[in-house]
């Protein structure tokens, strides 16, 4: 016997996502123009993302990129909205074409460059600085050291992973779920763990 209810529920879910995407994308396009964030063509939003650009900093998002902030838009579970933020003058976040983010936080004090066709699984973090000083007397009044992060084309970053300052991830590489990437990863490998290490060639 065919699962008629299942088919109906599936189609209703798809319709709701399409409506969510339409209105979220429309509202976000207005908000990002006001915030002077560079956005390419056909950039889609499921739910409202948070973009924060400090004075004299730069954020750009290229064509066909998607931000999923609604919990219903990714069935693995999104814990919070996407956040894309610069944290100081001269900071830059550059996101390429055909990228996908689900509940991803991207925070730059210096520069984060993300190539084309990059996928970030749910609840990932990419940051180029410490957010707080390391020394006890600097934890409340310092953002800590900053080093540029570069993510190459066609990289896949798995669920819950964290990319820390000074890291370069080579093109085509895969970062396993819940990894903490503290050192650069070469191209064309599968890597994972805490700290993240190369597991095998791809």
d(CA 53, CA 32): 10
3-state secondary structure at position 124: coil
Tokens representing residue 164 in the block = 């820390």
d(CA 121, CA 174): 11
Asked whether the beta carbons of 109 and 88 are under 8 A apart, the reply is yes
Question: Is 72 annotated as catalytic?
Answer: no
Nearest to 148 by CA among 165, 132, 162: 165
Listing from the earlier edge strand, what are the strands of the sheet with 44-46? 44-46, 66-68, 100-102, 119-120, 156-157, 174-175, 189-192, 197-201
The phi and psi torsions of 27 (rounded to 5 degrees) equal -65, -40
**105-108/44-46 β-pairing:** unpaired
- Exactly one of 16, 72, 132, 138 is catalytic; which is it? 132
Asked whether the beta carbons of 108 and 118 are under 8 A apart, the reply is no
Q: For the chain, where are the alpha helices, taking DSSP H only? A: 4-34
Structure letter (DSSP) for residue 13: H
The residues annotated with a catalytic role in the active site are 132
């Amino acid at each position: 016997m065919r699962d008629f209810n299942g088919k109906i529920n599936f189609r209703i879910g798809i319709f709701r996502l399409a409506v969510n995407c339409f209105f979220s994308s429309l509202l976000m396009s207005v908000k990002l123009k006001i915030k002077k964030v560079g956005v390419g063509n056909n950039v889609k939003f499921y739910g409202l993302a948070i973009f924060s650009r400090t004075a004299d900093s730069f954020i750009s998002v290229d064509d066909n990129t998607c931000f999923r902030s609604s919990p219903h838009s990714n069935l693995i579970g999104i814990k919070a909205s996407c956040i894309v933020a610069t944290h100081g003058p001269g900071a830059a976040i550059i996101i390429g074409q055909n990228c996908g983010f689900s509940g991803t936080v991207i925070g730059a004090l210096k520069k984060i460059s993300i190539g084309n066709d990059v996928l970030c699984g749910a609840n990932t973090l990419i940051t180029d600085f410490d957010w707080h000083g390391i020394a006890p007397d600097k934890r409340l009044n310092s953002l800590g050291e900053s080093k540029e992060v570069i993510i190459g084309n066609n990289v896949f970053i798995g669920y819950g992973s964290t990319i820390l300052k000074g890291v370069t991830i080579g093109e085509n590489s895969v970062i396993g779920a819940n990894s903490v990437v503290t050192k650069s990863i070469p191209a064309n490998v599968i890597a994972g763990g805490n700290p993240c290490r190369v597991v095998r060639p791809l």
